[in-house]
Structure 1
């Protein structure tokens, strides 16, 4: 038998280190060739690491949440044959992963020396003197704290008046504080790792580096919704049913022809704005583990149904956590929507290095005035954010107004 070390592979794009997200094996498990050992996360995506050999796990190289350099030891297996370690290295102890630092224990309370009872004939110890610390073990103190019981008001039945669990069980009403009926507050500590850590880092970076400003516009989407229903009635079975998203994407594509400065990415380290002729729309998607932004590439070159199918494909991949790295990078402007939960107004955070993000709020029916008459219309707000370092307020407002006109007069979406 020999030992085989699997090192963290180079997964391309110049990545020097990754974060270990999750182990799918443990020490003692038997693994087979091509079995997935772990998930690791780069700046862009989660990547599965398979085993190139079969064997038994004898050591793991890191704990979830730790950062590992490319080329470092990921896992060590015991395998048939000589393995890939030299003989003079097989005797070395296997690496021990760094364990999470345990919470510091509460300082123990030193027990006071037992004093002789003043009245040897008394079977009930007297309560602690005023100002004196009641005698009780740390476990009893914690239980009393959780239950809202004031130990100073209890008579302990233990040696020297020590308060026992049985004394808490008796629950003398006079001894309980005003909070005795309150439920214990159980605090669950969750380590921020993997996708949640990446989201936190990107959101913090976006708010710290970009100069956000938001602009909200109300849009009458009655005609747009009527068009969508007509298209679905005629072409839904043959081409697939349309949501509002591909129509909104089409509005962005057409409006950006006149506002190319918003279809851009800002490299603030090089002080360079990169304007793109192709429109690569990021579609903000909520997955099981957090928010991802898969990219609808070259939206300007496809019709409504082709874009709708691609949006469905990349969104599903993101939701299942199976989006490849190229799906999650390269967007030039982002579209975000909470659907029925969209609220009235939102302030979306930029998807750096982009300079614009368009947010879609909930569509509602309400009474509005049209040509002096009160009528019921379908209304929706667009809540959008921009990077004020490179986008002027006037340009942002004109862009959203252009989008509004396109959506309110949907026939113009298809005019070249």
Structure 2
């Protein structure tokens, strides 16, 4: 018998380290070649680390959330044969505690856009077999036994309220796939809101969730923004009745290869016109150097919720795009962000950001500025409300804009002038398309 050390591989992008976001195994587990052992996260991607040999886990080289240097020992296995560790080196590795991994440092300025997790390259696994009914009926795993599943499968199960221990995976070593979850749900598996028998029971469980990966990067960026930027918030209601009529007409008569228009491309075009008159809002503030950078190009970040968390894809040079071009690029970036394939360049470089929760956007919100920008425009939901026209109340479609500004750079008057200009353009949408 010998010992085999798997080191942190070079995951590309010229990085020196990666954050460990998930262990798929524990000490004592038997693993097979190509079985996924761990998942690590770089600034733009989550990568699964497979085993290159069959063996038994003897040692794990880092805690979740730790930064592991490229080439550092990640896991040690007992294997048949001589392994790849020479005598003497084994003891050195074994004596190194898990805490020896580089702890996650407090980050300085974070990239303009929160990074997105790209689809990891899957390990080469054996072809999956059909999910048998035994997959559903099998007894749950013992307490403490961690099911094998990818980060995306775990996220889906957590969102659906499914205990993965209740599912026997159909993949290698019992690895659980999305198809296994589909089969579990189809056969009446546990779902949130399910019917419970008996009287209500007090629950005392406390779930401890370590903040790592993309969630930690989002937390760090939000804390940075709120700690360094004195926010001023300005809300205004906008009558978008005429805009909605125009949008409906354009969607009805659109070309087959054009996407369906939402309100966002109209808002983007209105922002381009309003920023031409108020250039101080299309800027970033380098508060360490005491310099405001105003940009001629309008690069609009669109805060988007994805299965992995909040990311901000950026529509570059919105000033050079017409309504349909803006919609096409917006759709392309949104799809890439949700699929986890958006590149680092597509997630950085914004000069002003839009935050929209769509139909669940509420009446008012307090968006956090995308540091180091100086303004963010929040879009609330559209609702039909009675409006007095001078003689009677008439139904109108009203939408609120809830926006935040860096009060070190933007005065309340400037914020109000900008939002009132947006209001005029959106309430009289023909003005959006008037040149000059």
SS in 1 for 2:342: coil
Q: Equivalents in 1 of 2:83, 2:283: separation in Å?
A: 51
Are 1:414 and 2:430 an aligned pair? no
Query: Measured at CA, do residues 84 and 317 of structure 1 come closer, stay the same or move farther in structure 2, by a change above 3 Å?
Result: farther
- In the alignment, which residue of structure 2 is the partner of 1:45? 44
CA drift at 1:358: 0.3
Query: Measured at CA, do residues 93 and 68 of structure 1 come closer, stay the same or move farther in structure 2, by a change above 3 Å?
Result: closer
CA RMSD of aligned residues (A): 3.0
- In the alignment, which residue of structure 2 is the partner of 1:247? 266
**1:267-346 aligned within 5 A:** 267-346=286-365
CA drift at 1:283: 1.0
Are 1:356 and 2:364 an aligned pair? no
Query: Measured at CA, do residues 11 and 266 of structure 1 come closer, stay the same or move farther in structure 2, by a change above 3 Å?
Result: farther
Are 1:54 and 2:56 an aligned pair? no
CA drift at 1:275: 1.6
- In the alignment, which residue of structure 2 is the partner of 1:22? 22
Q: Equivalents in 2 of 1:223, 1:342: separation in Å?
A: 20
Unaligned 5+ residue runs, structure 1?
A: 100-180
**1:130-169 aligned within 5 A:** none
- In the alignment, which residue of structure 2 is the partner of 1:9? 10
Q: Equivalents in 2 of 1:325, 1:79: separation in Å?
A: 39
> TM-score normalized by structure 1?
0.70
Q: Equivalents in 2 of 1:50, 1:191: separation in Å?
A: 20
- In the alignment, which residue of structure 2 is the partner of 1:72? 72
**Counterpart contact for 1:8–1:68, Cα < 8 Å:** no
More displaced stretch, 238-247 vs 366-375:
366-375
Q: Equivalents in 1 of 2:81, 2:298: separation in Å?
A: 55
CA drift at 1:61: 2.2
- In the alignment, which residue of structure 2 is the partner of 1:160? none
**Number of residue pairs matched?**
331
SS in 2 for 1:9: coil
- In the alignment, which residue of structure 2 is the partner of 1:97? 98
CA drift at 1:11: 4.7
**Counterpart contact for 1:37–1:48, Cα < 8 Å:** no
> TM-score normalized by structure 2?
0.67
Unaligned 5+ residue runs, structure 2?
A: 101-199
Query: Measured at CA, do residues 324 and 40 of structure 1 come closer, stay the same or move farther in structure 2, by a change above 3 Å?
Result: farther
CA drift at 1:3: 3.5
Q: Equivalents in 2 of 1:377, 1:16: separation in Å?
A: 56
SS in 2 for 1:282: strand
**Counterpart contact for 1:5–1:84, Cα < 8 Å:** no
- In the alignment, which residue of structure 2 is the partner of 1:103? none
**1:80-119 aligned within 5 A:** 89=89, 92-94=92-94, 97-98=98-99
Q: Equivalents in 2 of 1:377, 1:97: separation in Å?
A: 62
